Structure 1
């Protein structure tokens, strides 16, 4: 979820809780419907389709509660509130905890004048048989309601497969027939007025048919509550007017039976384990003894849990309020911590991006400097090439001159050989020596020029290697220019996200009281109203007696 809208979502969640618990007076035309069913029956999906809101987001990181939530939408001019309730027989939450949550909010809601106008009970048709979880949720729903008639209850089978792909529809229809006829399942509710629906019967996900199906079920309950005045839930009367503890309510008694039965079973198992530990085998077999000890510790842990649950059954509505108060305080503190952690993460990401951007900018500045040097090096290379060309040209001319001189010396020697006069020989010898001196000078000059040429060629090669290296870097610069633009955009977006996160946390901090009061204010008010109602009821009884 976008952190920018987290604070707004929390405030909206508080508003919905405030209306549901009666702290904010609802409109007389508003309707409140419980959505019940075991975990995995499709409650969140059903509510999402009806309301057009992402219920999974509502239960996400920035959610006030992970147990019960309220979602609203408009239907035919009415504001409908769907209460997403936790399921019983859940692996992550005990039935005592689930009942405590429902008793706390439903009790406060009733005490503050808010009525439940209908109940939608969801059941997945895909189950091969009625599971213990399904039976448990049906049993607890009956215990909470205590209705004589169930005209305001809709039973909706969910998770029907796509009829274009699923061939064995007969099996599902037979399963449905068993569910609606067997008194252990939904038969008893249907015989007392409950209505059965196939939700999204064609099995097409995210379709208009799925949305219409859910809203048709809600519309049916709205029509039913116009014909049949909704009864008050037995749990609501017991916890507020009769001021019963949780364990004294009908639903609490049903849970207590299971607790007592489980405790007896654990105690019997513990006695068997302790007896086995005294036997000779346990004394001689260390592995067997260790296994027994581990089993004993597990049973003792379960017994301690049973004791805690028995203690929880003694809770009154005031106790339930204090329990929820602590949970909300912890949750708000946790959300504040989550906001701060998200801000810290985004700030760290921003610092990393800025550091990387600075490094790229330094690299690009260095490359720009290298480019300027490269131009100077290229000019130097051209100068070397020009000088080398000139030197080679001069060297070639001198080499030609040397060959001519050497040829003249050779020719003079041949001519001298033909002339035998002494005077002529002396003259030729003198001229020959002069030519030889000239030749030697030319040779020395050529050697010097060749050495200079070699030095210039080596310098040119060095300059060319430097040019090649800088040319390679120039390609890198082209990539870096594009990269730096992208990085600057990322940094800009990261800064914006940090600012949004900080702004969201600021709004959240400013609305902590609103959030807390919106949810718990109604419960606290309901506790006070319940105490007054209970006192009035008791006084009326005394007066009558």
Structure 2
């Protein structure tokens, strides 16, 4: 029944026998974990009021695929029953009365066949003697399912776990004092829980590695940017130094030209800048410029126009 959160018992008489239906919680409840639900079920299975004649596992046929929770629930049913009790397990497909069209009906029939043909779905259970029936929501369908369960229990005697007859595997395990988590059904739940925890841990590791990679990339980008900015700064400083050095070189060269010119004047005759001079005979002589030799500018150090660009003036005296 839908939204079942606890185990509920329903009793009625049929052919002079008292029949008890035990409605258990579903194993896909988001408000409770599967081990808690299985522990609730185990509380009834440990001391059943009568021998268990059968187990009915319901599945919504309109579900277009077997989800993870559906597979888990079916695996728990396998562990609860045990292979010896498979003939007393009924796979009951529901919602057949909710199909809107003939095409939808054909699709669900096809899906049912696929589940039965697949060993990972219902195939292994069907081979082991499990019954498969359809439920359309009617009272007649419910009675047919019940009659089939009772008929199978009569032909393949069930027991109470003490004398003859088969019982669900979990009943035997619980009566032997086995903790719920160590039973066959419990191990299915524990294994699934560990798998989910491992997946979550792997996801967290992957997220941490992704974040670390992102941070490494950011640091690398900052380092590349710092190197580019530092290289640009060194180039700018070098360019400024080069320009300053060139100006100084030109000033130095011009200064040498100026100094050379003045030194040459001074060496030729200290009076060259005055009104003239006198030779050894006492005659006056006049200075004159006889040659101008412009300097050869050095490569890369072109003197600026108007700054000592006339070259060295050589002064000679004629007699």
- Secondary structure in 1 aligned to 2:157? coil
Q: Distance in 2 between matches of 1:187 and 1:266?
A: 31
| TM-score (normalised: structure 2) | 0.59
Aligned-partner Cα distance in 1 for 2:47–2:191: 26
User: Do the aligned residues in 2 keep the contact of 1:149 with 1:192 (CA within 8 Å)?
Assistant: no
Say whether residues 1:166 and 2:101 are aligned partners: yes
The partner residue of 1:119 within 47, 55, 64 is: 55
- Alpha-carbon distance in 2 for matches of 1:279, 1:87: 43
Q: Equivalent residue for 1:69? A: 8
- How does 1:35-184 map onto structure 2 within 5 Å? 43-44=1-2, 66-109=5-48, 114-161=50-97, 166-168=101-103, 169-184=105-120
Q: Which protein, 1 or 2, shows the higher relative CO under an 8 Å CA cutoff with sep ≥ 6?
A: 1
Aligned with residue 193 of structure 2, among 259, 263, 271: 259
Match of 2:168 among 216, 221, 233: 233
CA distance in 2, matches of 1:170, 1:277: 50
5+ residue gaps, structure 2:
159-165, 219-319
Aligned residues: 210
Alpha-carbon distance in structure 1 between the residues aligned to 2:69 and 2:196: 16
Residues 115 and 232, structure 1, Cα contact 8 Å, conserved in 2? yes
2:182 aligned partner? 248
Shift of 1:101: 0.9
CA pair 280-222 structure 1, distance change in 2 beyond 3 A = closer
Deviation at 1:106, TM superposition (A): 0.9
CA distance in 1, matches of 2:214, 2:109: 58
**Alpha carbons 1:149, 1:193 under 8 Å: kept:** no
Name the larger-Rg structure: 2
TM-score by length of 1: 0.36
Pairing 1:220–2:154 present: no
Mark the runs of 5 or more structure 1 residues left unpaired by the alignment: 1-42, 45-55, 60-65, 285-545
CA–CA separation in structure 2 for the residues paired with 1:170 and 1:96:
37
Aligned partner (choices 204, 207, 211) of residue 139 of structure 2: 211
| Aligned residues of 2:35 and 2:181 also touching (Cα < 8 A) | no
Contact 2:85/2:167 (8 A) holds in 1: no
- Per residue, is there more helix in 1 or in 2? 1
Shift of 1:277: 5.5
Q: 1:127 to 1:280 in 2, by over 3 A?
A: closer
